[in-house]
């Protein structure tokens, strides 16, 4: 039955273009976000594994 509902989606081929555009957009957003992140924050993040909270 669910197949019947899905089958009614018109122009299923447009999925491909949508997803490529989506990927490109997401990728660009990530890139922008990454490039504009402050250095101090990046440094803090990358030091997280080394931040020893253990005391013995």
Partner 1 sequence: MNNTTVDTFYYNNKLVRDFAYATAFWGLIGMLVGLLAAFQLVYPELNFELPYTTFGRTRPLHTNAVIFAFVGNGIFMGVYYSLPRLLKTPMYSKKLGNIHFWGWQGIIVAAAVTLLLGMTTGKEYAELEWPIDIAITIIWVIFGANMMATILQRRESHLYVAIWFYIATWVTVAVLHIVNSMEIPVNLFKSYSVYAGVQDALVQWWYGHNAVAFFLTTPYLGLMYYFMPKAANRPVYSYRLSIIHFWALIFIYIWAGPHHLLYTALPDWAQSLGMAFSLMLIAPSWGGMLNGLLTLRGAWDKVRQDPVLKFMVVAVTAYGMATFEGPLMSIKAVNAISHYTDWTIAHVHIGTLGWNGFLTFGIMYWLFPRIFRTKLYSIKLANAHFWIGTMGILFYAVPLYWAGFTQSLMWKEFTEEGFLAYPNFLETVTQILPMYLMRAIGGSLYVVGLLIMLYNIYKTVKQGDFLEAEKAQAPPRALAHVHEADHWHRWIEKRPMQLLVASMFVILIGGVVEMVPTFLISSNVPTISTVKPYTPLELQGRDIYIAEGCYVCHSQMIRPFRDETERYGEFSKGGEFVYDHPFQWGSKRTGPDLHRIGGKYSDSWHYNHMLEPVSMSPGSIMPSYSWLIEDKLDTHTTAKKIRVMQQLGVPYPKGYDKIANNDLEAQAQAIAERLKKDNIEVEADREIIALIAYLQRLGTDIKKQPKEEDE
3 in contact with partner 1 (CB under 8 A) = yes
How far apart are the C-alpha atoms of 13 and 53, rounded to whole Å? 53
To partner 1, the closest distance from the beta carbon of 10 in angstroms equals: 11
Distance CA 9, CA 29 (A): 29
**Rounded Cα gap, residues 52 and 45, in angstroms:** 14
* 1 touches partner 1 (CB under 8 A): no
User: What residues line the site for partner 1 (CB under 8 A)?
Assistant: 3, 6-7, 9, 12-13, 15-16, 18-19, 22-23, 26-27, 30-31, 33-38, 41-50, 53-56
């Amino acid at each position: 039955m669910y197949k019947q509902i899905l089958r009614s989606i018109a122009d299923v081929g447009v999925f491909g273009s949508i997803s490529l555009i989506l990927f490109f957009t997401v990728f660009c957003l990530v890139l922008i976000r990454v490039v504009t992140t402050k250095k101090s924050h990046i440094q803090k993040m990358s030091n997280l594994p080394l931040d020893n909270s253990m005391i013995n």
